Amino acid sequence: MTEEALHYSELYEKAIDLQEKGNTDQAIKTFLTIINGEMTKKNETVIKKKEESIYRLGKLYADNQDSTSIIELNKTVRPFFKDLPKAKTAKIVRTLIEQVGLIKGTANSQIEICKESIEWATQEKRTFLRQRIESRLAGLYFDKKDFTEALSLINKLLREVRKLDDKALLVEIHLLESKVYHALRNLAKSRAALTAARTDANSIYCPPLLQAEIDMQSGILHADEKDYKTAFSYLYEAFEGYSNLSHENAVMCLKYMLLCKVCTNHPDEVQSILSTKTALKYTGREVDSMRAVSVAYQERSLHSFEDALREYERELKLDPIINTHLSELYDNLLEQHLLRIIEPFSRVQITHVAKLIELPRQQVERKLSQMVLDTKLNGILDQGNDCLIVYEETKKDQCYPAAIETMENMNNVLDSLFERAKSLTK
């Protein structure tokens, strides 16, 4: 080992020792000395120590919630990149971007470091690295709900990446495209993008995390199409994948699985799913919120349903996917309640119905008028007298349809006989 390599090794050991003792400031200074130090001659040991110092310093900044220093470090280390292979350079840049992502509330800082890194990668003609950072940037725009910017970047990326035929990156971009279109409620394009992602994923080795993301998106789309059984199957696969990787999305998948059971009128199965060994790891408010919803739906209790929505507002209403389906469940429950209350009456005051169901009169009137228009209720609203007039269901006389069907069959028989007689006279 050369004198220079020994010097850098000693500095690196000293920095680690300071870090372990909790002397963070001195450790940061020592790591920076290693990173900024000039090499008189290219040495593998020195390069390795510099590389490890970058990773450790980035982690230290992330632990200290210092995103600005990580952005600055990303710029400082660039002269060192000329001594590294392109693959290692890409790994360092992507790691530093990910470390900024570990700090909460740094969406703008992440976008800043991505844009700055894309600019540098374009100048250095690092195409593959630039495309991956652009994919990350599109994901950040999606998280920020800036869908226009995200789609613009995705479309540009897809044109480039298709030419290079980078299947792994294509899968990620198509999956992100599917998520963006789903957020915009364009389900046809979302489904098409997901199909493209699945097709590309089948032709390569797909990492477990990416496969779980694809399955989760498939489950969400099937749930939107009211195909809850298929949605449950996909979400179960995704849940298994995330659970094996101890990923934070596992609990979201579990929530969506329970939602599918409630939507298929099987709320009684929710408890059996929550009793499984895998699901027991995720007990908490997220799971409790869906348990409360399933109990309310099983009891057909509108007030218990409303109580669950109030108590677990953050877990239920702030999740757009859960909120959409729960709104439909609430409407179904409200309709069933109203029909049960109205059943004995032929004419009833709206105020009286509102009193019986214990809901505001305006809400009840609005729902009744909607049910009349949707032909779910055979009647009219007499707003002048504040009452609902319910008509008796008239049974259809099956005699006439049967007579018409007989005549049609007779006509077909006569046509057939006429054709045969015609062929005999020739």
Q: How many angstroms separate the CA atoms of 329 and 186, rounded?
A: 22
Q: Give me 327's structure tokens.
A: 């709104």
Q: Give me 94's structure tokens.
A: 């992507």
Q: Is the pLDDT of residue 217 over 90?
A: yes
Q: Tell me what pLDDT residue 147 has.
A: 92
Q: Tell me what pLDDT residue 426 has.
A: 64
Q: Is the pLDDT of residue 349 over 70?
A: yes
Between 80 and 172, residue with greater pLDDT:
172
Q: Tell me what pLDDT residue 233 has.
A: 94
Which residues does 243 contact at the CB level (< 8 Å), separation at least 6? Answer: 250, 278, 281
Q: Is the pLDDT of residue 125 over 90?
A: no
Q: Tell me what pLDDT residue 1 has.
A: 58
Average pLDDT, the chain: 87
Q: How do residues 189-214 score in pLDDT, each as one tens digit?
A: 999 999 999 999 998 888 999 999 99
Q: Give me 328's structure tokens.
A: 């439909």
Average pLDDT score over residue span 44-54: 84
Average pLDDT score over residue span 364-393: 85
Q: For tokens 């179904």, name the residue.
A: 332
CB atoms within 10 A of CB 400: 9
DSSP 8-state class, residue 389: E
Residue of 134, 141, 187 lying closest to 158 (CA atoms) = 134
Q: Give me 375's structure tokens.
A: 């032909």
Between 239 and 345, residue with greater pLDDT:
239
Average pLDDT score over residue span 142-146: 90
Q: Is the pLDDT of residue 73 over 90?
A: no
Q: Give me 284's structure tokens.
A: 């908490």
Q: Tell me what pLDDT residue 359 has.
A: 84
Q: Show the DSSP H helices in 205-301 as ranges.
A: 208-224, 228-244, 250-263, 270-274, 277-280, 285-298
Q: Give me 349's structure tokens.
A: 């005051």
Distance from first CA to last CA of the chain, Å, rounded? 110
Q: Which residues, listed in sequence order, are joined to residue 379 by a DSSP beta bridge?
A: 390
Average pLDDT score over residue span 17-31: 83
Q: Tell me what pLDDT residue 394 has.
A: 66
Q: Tell me what pLDDT residue 177 has.
A: 95
Q: How do residues 406-416 score in pLDDT, each as one tens digit?
A: 999 999 999 89
Residue pair 161/170 in contact by the 8 Å Cβ criterion: yes
Q: How many angstroms separate the CA atoms of 117 and 92, rounded?
A: 11
Q: How many angstroms separate the CA atoms of 222 and 257, rounded?
A: 12
Residue type, 25: D
Q: Is the pLDDT of residue 67 over 90?
A: no
Q: Is the pLDDT of residue 221 over 90?
A: yes
Average pLDDT score over residue span 6-21: 82
pLDDT-based confidence at 302, cuts 50/70/90? confident
SS3 content of the chain, % helix, strand, coil (to 5): 75, 5, 20
Burial label for 361, CB within 10 Å (0-12, 13-18, 19+), is: middle
pLDDT-based confidence at 419, cuts 50/70/90? confident
Q: What is the CA radius of gyration of the chain?
A: 32
Q: How do residues 222-231 score in pLDDT, each as one tens digit?
A: 999 989 999 9
Which residues does 306 contact at the CB level (< 8 Å), separation at least 6? Answer: 330
Q: Give me 314's structure tokens.
A: 């953050």
Q: How many angstroms separate the CA atoms of 76 and 134, rounded?
A: 21
**Of 72-76, 105-109, 185-189, highest mean pLDDT:** 185-189
Tell whether the torsion through CA atoms of 278, 284, 289 and 292 is positive or negative. positive
> Angle between the 250-263 and 285-298 helix axes, to the nearest 10 degrees?
0
Q: How do residues 234-289 score in pLDDT, each as one tens digit?
A: 999 999 999 998 888 899 999 999 999 988 888 888 888 888 888 888 888 888 98
Q: Parallel, antiparallel, or unpaired for β 347-349 and 379-382?
A: unpaired
